[in-house]
Structure 1
Amino acid sequence: MQPYDIELMTSLSRPSLASDGSFAIYAASRPDCRANRTVGQLWRIDLAPDLAAAGATAAGPATAEPVARRLTRGIDDTAPQLSPDGTTIAFLRPDSRGRPQVHLVDARGGEPLQVTDQLLGTGPAAWTPDGSRLVFTARVAEPGRYGTVDGLEPGAESPRRITGLRWHANGVGFSTDRLTQVFVVEASSVGDQPLYAAAPHPGGPLATTPSIPAQVTQLTSAFAEHTAIAPTADGTAVLAVREAYEGPGAARRDLRTALVRLPVGDLPVGGLPTDSGEESVLLSPEDGLRIQDLTVLADGTIAMLASQPGAGRDSVAPDVALWLLGADGPRRLTDPESLELTGPIVTHGESVLVASPHRGRVHLLRIDRAGAVSRVLDGDLEVHGWDAAGDLVLAAATTADSAGVLLARTGHGAPDTLVDTGADLRDAGLVRPRELELEGRSGYPVHGWSAVPEGPGPFPTLLLIHGGPHAFYGVGVFDEVQTLVAAGYAVVYGNPRGSAGYGRAHGRAVRGGFGTVDAEDVIDLLEGALAADERLDAQRLGILGGSYGGYLTAWIIAHDHRFRGAIVERGFLDPLSFQGTSDIGSYFGDEYLGTDPEAIARQSAFGHAGSVRTPTLVIHSEEDHRCPLEQGTRYYTALRRAGVEAEMLIFPGEDHELTRSGRPRHRVERFDAVLEWWERVFGSAEFSSATEEGPRGGDPTTSGPSPS
């Protein structure tokens, strides 16, 4: 796989399945270097009679074989959601300013109808049960900002007064002056007559003909962020998760959220509802939950994925579980210590469907009201979106050789692959990684993979470390690994302690111990991979990682001088400055590293930069608010002051998500720079000799505390 082959990585959205099981809608998206953006459209797949019958609640049309066809031709159509009667699709499409707006289109195809015109765009829409309305979230600009005043440039706006702990977010920028609120809009009929512009008339000017057929109504105005919206079963209200901003006197971040009920009733033209009652709080922050996602069951019971952050702050490997909220209050159904769960939550009869990360896979589970768990889809895949009708379940997933597959399962049978976007990617050349599991030096199991080019070797070997730390590398096709392998490098990567998918104790093992057992695990994985495959060259080693992986890379090269080169990307490097610059600085370091100054200094990669001898490339993005640019620039400067061969690459206009959703040209340019760096590292006598003055194979864990 070459850097530009990211264009072949077509992913699929969460499918939306008709209630009779006869067809489904999904979005297919991919990076496009010529357009320099993500592009994609909506697709419709008409299901075979046996699949449709499994989902049928009433007779519906079906074709002889599943056939997918492109339904829209927009540049970036996403987030499709079928109306309850299956006749209309709500989806997002950029407007003339490039901001996503809710559009409607006939489920059989046709010209889409734009129904929102929010200044800063909208989030995905959800239908009310009767199909008469759509609810969505959108950021609301403070007057005088973000184009609310024509001709007022950003640099001429008034100053921002900050009185709380939070003021910005990665991928957003400043946030407290453009809060996310909840809206509702009538669902205009796509069969109605279009609106025609009025022609000039001798009798005088005519009223301007609106281009948007309906006016939205704002349901909330709180100083908070609203997420995870869901209409109630009777359609009279909308549920939303509310995360309020801390007040001026707050000294600590509070991760707990509220669940609010927002009556809809009869909607006025603009403004707030006047005759539908007041909002009510179903759960307050004092109830102790941080709600990630929710849905409403047929009888009105609310199903939630939620954690219980201790003292409102504990964010380390959160104890996410499935909860039910009824008249008797919230009730937890699953054990978060042994079963990790992620959303979205989708109703399936009296049960719900959720996902569970497990050893680099993401499986689809069904959980009933008693908490009984059964597997719907498992094996070597990572599911990320699903829907159900009757006995039929559809799921979008990635596999080892495809960035997008659509799977169907009925009853207890094996799943059918309805769509597979990976043919061109496979033709470009993919290597199947080898799964590794070995016993580390302390007896703890270490799990990961090695991917090796074809041929006898020996190949220069790169140790790749993921971010998080509560994240994971998986079995799905990974452009980073495939591009490095195609360039002639063996890649070793895995999920050390701190990662997700191995039980909560595994995820919490690094609390208070960054640079200890996590560094031990990745080094043990590397040494195990070297011992297991003679094609890996133990004398030509490199190390790289991003975010927390950038931290662990920086930590290891300060303590272990066997590596000929390193790449530290978007790193969490100085926990002290991180506190006042990162969008999660108000709690992340406190919870993972602790608050004791000596403990923080002991775990700081920046504090150990003077011990580095390894030539290092530092990569960062200008608009990264998760690990801000100063983390990279200060670390780079510290390396140069220590006499280390170092370079820095800074990407304009990108945030923390450059490698995953950045502009395609920047992603390719980054790959080119990474490959050029490794070519110099392993081909340059200057770089090769730079690491030979110090000890090799040192222990990167000796300077840190034991994990709590």
Structure 2
Amino acid sequence: MKPDQIDLLTTTGTPTLHPDGSRLVVAATRPDFRADSYVGQLWEVTLEGARRRLTRGFRDTAPRYSPDGELLLFLRAAPGGKPQLFVVRAAGGEPVQLTDQPLGVSRFDVAPDSRTVVFAARVPEPGRYGTLDGVGAGLEDPRLITQYKYRMNGSGYITDKRSQLFTVEVPDLDAEPWIEAVGRLKQERVDGPGALEEQGAVPRATQVTTADADHLEPAFSADGMRIFFTAALAPDADSTLVSDIHSIALDGGDRRQLTNLSGGSRLGCSAPGPSADGSWLFFLATDLSPSGVDFVARSTALYAAPMDDPQDLRRLSDPGTIDLGDVQDIVRDASDAVLVFNRSRGMGELLRFSATGESETLVTGPTVVTGAASAGGAVVVTYTDPSTTGDVAVVDRAVLRPLTDFSAALRARTRVGDMQERTYTAPDGASVHGWVVLPEGDGPHPVLLVIHGGPFAQYGWGYFDEAQVYAAAGYAVLLCNPRGSAGYGPDHGRSIKEAMGTVDLDDVLAYLDGALAEFEVMDNERLGVMGGSYGGYLTAWTIAHDHRFHGAIVERGYLDPPSFVGSSDIGWFFSEQYTGTDPARVEQQNPFAKIGSVRTPAFVIHSEEDLRCPIEQAQRYYTALKKQGVETELLVFPGETHELSRSGSPWHRRQRFEHILRWWARYLPTDANQPDPATR
């Protein structure tokens, strides 16, 4: 794949299955260069594989059938606009807009009677975020900060736009459409955020929560009388990672906390949902220990409690062997069972659990399941694998029967390099698991060691645009999951706690050495190393200790733990949990403390609005390299966050790839990636 082909990367959202199990609807979304945005519509697909484009909006996502199967609700965003809730008859027709929230709608659920919808939306303080005409962001009142948690990467400030829950009634879709008055009957026009609701063009929503906290993931109870949600409302919520499942009546009253009701370890809870028969409440949670902040490599588990006795809490999955922390969602299955998503050795598996703890694996193997739905005796999934960025399949006796082929154009117009699974041995005998992607030709090919972020994350079997772009440019690409990664159990993940840059460095170098020894087509003299976030950390750490690399790319890096505390949105807890608090030990894990040893040319890439790894990390690293005479460049993307490489603007994603290839053309040229003569 080439950088200008990222518009072929169609991804699929979570599917919704009609209650009778006959058909599904899924959102298919792709980058678009003309719009410099992400565009996509909803597709209806029968379980026999017939499909049709159901909507024609700019970006339509998150479809959900109503329980009676008569309606389809979804989110629609206009160009430059926020996602709003729409409804259309399941048989088709003109969608009707239900909301006009100033900052858009996120998660929603439909009541069992199919007439009421609950949704979450951020509510801006008066005078902020365009709510006061003529007052832009630079003229807003100052913010008085008194909390640790006041910003979030991708969202910016959060305490002045809390996520609250609302309910709205589904109108009669056969009623006369709203028509704006003109002439003699025209009233004073209302413009701006919320104008459509004020004018009566959309139904009036009722806010049902008001506390100074984010209220997330709303879900109706099976009888439709209560709403479940997650929120951090405890007195110490600002200084821990603890969150709870709560429920409220439909009018917002009678709030009940359902989790963390006893002493001992404390949970970070998410994804509440009742069983199909209404007898159980399921949710996901991470055990954060009594401190409430010990998050390092803590696997997410499935919990259940009887609806009539929430304190009878039961953990159904073993966090020592199962980790549900990637796709943090629960899918209601028949009666008292649910479907959940496990990450294991690069796979994204689909598991079924009953409330009694019985489990079975529905999908496993070289696939990453990204979403699922169950209804009418059928189970369907969305997934990615080495040759598709997103498709839909029916689960049939633990085998996937594909229903779509959204990646057909990608395969037709690009070469998809095979992912060759390999395991090599670290110096202490530990196994290092990963993949090799080779370019075309006999070689010898220069080698790129590409390190993932996290660190509690994993490379896997899904289509990876980074590896395909570099392989197409003539590079052998190495992807591995060193100790500290997810997917291999908590001990594997926690092995770098207060020991960053130790066994993780050993592992990535062992994987490099193992691949060089096995593959004769690799050039063991021409090596590069690169990574983002924690991968940026380990890249910077690697080139301070190993000088065989011709070049390096340090992207959105975690580069100086002491300055990360206070500048990052997660800095108040992240560094201390990973590196500890002893200054001498922190220095032993700090790339910035070792920067004097760096001799490798290093390309530093960062985004201006990255709040996860703030840009000061990159600026200081770049300046220090330049002062000591190391060849370096700094590439800064305006308007982008920590998620640039995954969800940044299409043009910025393309330009990022072009600059990366330009850098490697200088230090590791290939036949397919030569330096521009004008820059030599």
Same fold (TM over 0.5): yes
| Number of equivalences | 652
Q: Which one of the candidate residues 492, 500, 504 is aligned to 2:490?
A: 504
Q: CA deviation at 1:307?
A: 1.1
Distance in 2 (alpha carbons) for counterparts of 1:528 and 1:284: 47
Q: Does 1:308 align with 2:287?
A: yes
Code of the residue aligned with 1:414 in structure 2: it is: V
| Correspondence 1:245-284 to 2 at 5 A | 253-265=239-251, 277-284=253-260
Of 173-182 and 617-626, deviating more is: 173-182
- Counterpart amino acid of 1:419? T
Aligned twin of 1:295: 273
What are the superposed Cα offsets for residues 382-428 of structure 1, whole Å, 9 maximum, x if unpaired?
00100001321000000110111211024x36331111212111121
Q: Hey, what does 1:485 align to over in structure 2?
A: 471
Q: Could you tell me how far 1:32 is from its partner in structure 2?
A: 0.8
Q: Does 1:98 align with 2:81?
A: yes
1:224 alignment partner, one of 204, 213, 218:
213
Structure 1 residues 207 and 120 mapped into 2: Cα distance closer, same or farther (>3 Å)?
Answer: closer
CA distance in 1, matches of 2:106, 2:234: 20
State the alpha-carbon separation in 1 of the partners of residues 611 and 250 from structure 2.
36
Q: Any stretches of 5+ residues in structure 1 without a counterpart?
A: 49-65, 266-272, 685-708
Deviations 1:529-573 (A, max 9, x none): 000101111100000000000000000100110000000000000
| Residue number among 125, 132, 135 corresponding to 1:152 in the alignment | 135
Equivalent residues of 1:31, 1:664 under 8 A apart: yes
Q: 1:288-322: CA deviations, max 9, x gaps? A: 21112121112242101101102101010123111
Work out whether 1:321 is the aligned partner of 2:321.
no
Task: State the SS of the aligned residue for 2:41.
Answer: strand
SS of match in other structure, 1:603: coil
Q: Which of residues 345, 349, 362 in structure 1 aligns to 2:330? A: 345
User: Does the 8 Å contact 2:299/2:322 carry over to 1?
Assistant: no
The answer as to whether partners of 1:296 and 1:302 remain within 8 angstroms in 2 is: yes
Matches within 5 A, 1:351-430: 351-410=337-396, 412=397, 414-427=399-412, 428-430=414-416
Q: Which secondary structure does the structure 1 equivalent of 2:663 belong to?
A: helix
Q: What CA distance in whole angstroms lies between the structure 2 residues aligned with 1:538 and 1:492?
A: 13
Map 1:69-218 onto structure 2 (within 5 A).
69-95=52-78, 98-201=81-184, 210-218=199-207
Of 567, 583, 586, the residue aligned with 2:572 is 586
C-alpha distance in 1 between matches for 2:68 and 2:523: 60
The secondary structure found in structure 2 opposite 1:191 is coil
CA contact (8 A) 1:181 1:221 kept: yes
Cα offsets for 1:618-640 (capped at 9, x unmatched): 00000000001111101111111
Task: State the match for 2:673 in structure 1.
Answer: none
SS in 1 for 2:240: coil
Query: Does the alignment pair 1:16 with 2:1?
Result: no
| 4+ residue segments displaced more than 6 Å | 206-209
TM-score with structure 2 setting the length: 0.93
Return the offset for 1:210: 3.0
Q: Distance in 1 between matches of 2:111 and 2:352?
A: 24
Deviation at residue 111 of structure 1 after TM alignment: 1.5
2:59/2:78 contact within 8 Å kept: no
Label 1:361 to 1:205 Cα distance change in 2 as closer, same or farther (>3 A): closer
What is the CA deviation profile of residues 504-527 of structure 1, one whole-angstrom value per residue up to 9, with x for unaligned ones?
111111111100000100000000
Secondary structure in 2 matching 1:365 = strand
**TM-score, L = length of structure 1:** 0.90
2:107/2:217 contact within 8 Å kept: no
Q: Give the Cα–Cα distance (whole angstroms) in 2 for the partners of residues 450 and 536 of structure 1.
A: 11
Distance in structure 1 (CA, Å) of the matches to 2:67 and 2:205: 21
Contact 1:573 1:604 in 2 (8 A): yes
CA positional deviation for 1:494: 0.7
Does the CA contact (< 8 Å) of 1:200 and 1:206 recur in 2? no
Alpha-carbon spacing, 1:279–1:244, altered in 2? closer, same or farther (3 Å): closer
Q: CA deviation at 1:370?
A: 2.0
- Answer yes or no: is the 8 Å Cα contact 1:92–1:124 preserved in 2: no
- 1:242 is the counterpart of 2:231: yes
- 2:570 & 2:189 partners in 1: Cα distance? 49
Q: Structure 2 counterpart of 1:40, which letter? A: G
- Secondary structure of the 1:201 match is helix
Counterpart code for 2:284: L
* Residue deviations 1:181-229 (CA, integer Å, cap 9, x gap): 1111111233322112234338x95998935331111111111112222
- What is the rounded CA distance, in whole Å, between the counterparts of 2:594 and 2:102 in structure 1? 46
CA distance in 2, matches of 1:213, 1:531: 65
One-letter code aligned to 1:242: A
Distance apart, 1:614 and its partner CA = 0.2
Q: Counterpart amino acid of 2:297?
A: A
Say whether the 8 Å CA contact 2:221–2:278 is kept in structure 1. no
Correspondence for 2:440 = 454
Separation in 2 of the partners of 1:243 and 1:95? 32
Change (3 A) 1:644 1:523: same
> Residues 214 and 279 (structure 1 numbering): CA distance in 2 closer, same or farther, change over 3 Å?
same
Contact 1:568-1:619 at 8 Å conserved across structures: yes
Post-superposition shift, 1:577? 1.0
Q: 1:117 touches 1:212 (CA, 8 Å); kept in 2? A: no
1:410-448: CA deviation from partner (whole Å, max 9, x where unpaired): 4x3633111121211112111102111122211101101
Distance 1:648 1:243 in 2: 39
Residue 518 in structure 1 maps to residue 488 in structure 2 = no
Q: Does 1:569 align with 2:552?
A: no
CA distance in 2, matches of 1:462, 1:306: 37
Does structure 1 conserve the Cα–Cα contact (< 8 Å) formed by 2:607 and 2:637? yes
Find out whether 1:43 has 2:22 as its counterpart: no
SS state of the match for residue 535, structure 2? helix
CA contact (8 A) 1:116 1:212 kept: no
Deviations 1:206-261 (A, max 9, x none): 998935331111111111112222111111111110024977xx9x8301112221
2:515 & 2:79 partners in 1: Cα distance?
A: 52
Query: What percent of counterpart residues are identical?
Result: 45
C-alpha distance in structure 1 between counterparts of 2:496 and 2:445, whole Å: 32
Alignment of 1:458-477 (within 5 A): 458-477=444-463
Per the alignment, do residues 618 and 246 of structure 1 end up closer, same or farther by CA in structure 2, a change over 3 Å counting?
farther
Which deviates more from structure 2 when the two are superposed, residues 614-623 or residues 430-439? 430-439
Paired residue secondary structure (1:555): helix
Amino acid at match of 1:290: G
CA offset at residue 169 of structure 1? 0.3
Q: Superposed, which structure 2 residues align to 1:547-562 within 5 Å? A: 547-562=533-548
Question: 1:470 & 1:43 partners in 2: Cα distance?
Answer: 34
* Amino acid aligned to 2:572: S
How much is the aligned-residue C-alpha RMSD, in angstroms? 1.8
In structure 2, the residue corresponding to 1:123 is in which secondary structure? strand
